[in-house]
């Protein structure tokens, strides 16, 4: 802040504690990592589909192998 002569009078500082947001973000990353490990460790094909759009969001390796075998072009 400055006075009418341009001299600095002070400053305004705004701070926000984001500790809880960081903890929540870390917990989410750990949860996603655990889910990914489970998905990749099972021999069963898993596909995650977005219900509203019917879009495939994620597949595990077993599904990818199955699809590649189904659509493998043979001479």
List, for residues 8-53, the tens digit of each pLDDT value: 888 889 999 999 999 999 999 999 999 999 999 999 999 999 999 9
The SS3 call for residue 56 is: strand
Question: Where do the H-state alpha helices sit in the chain?
Answer: 19-41, 61-70
The confidence score (pLDDT) of residue 70 equals: 85
Q: Is 58 left (phi over 0), alpha (psi -120 to 50) or beta?
A: beta
The confidence score (pLDDT) of residue 73 equals: 60
Element (H, E) at 59: strand 55-59
Q: How far apart are CA 41 and CA 21, in angstroms?
A: 30
At residue 74, does pLDDT exceed 70? no
Which residues lie across from 48 on neighbouring strands?
58
């Amino acid at each position: 802040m400055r006075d009418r002569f341009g001299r600095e009078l002070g400053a305004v500082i705004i701070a926000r504690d984001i500790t809880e947001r960081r903890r929540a973000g870390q917990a989410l990353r750990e949860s996603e990592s655990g889910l990914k490990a489970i998905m990749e460790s099972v021999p069963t094909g898993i596909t995650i589909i977005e219900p509203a759009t019917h879009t495939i969001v994620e597949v595990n390796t077993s599904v990818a192998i199955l699809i590649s075998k189904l659509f493998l072009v043979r001479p």
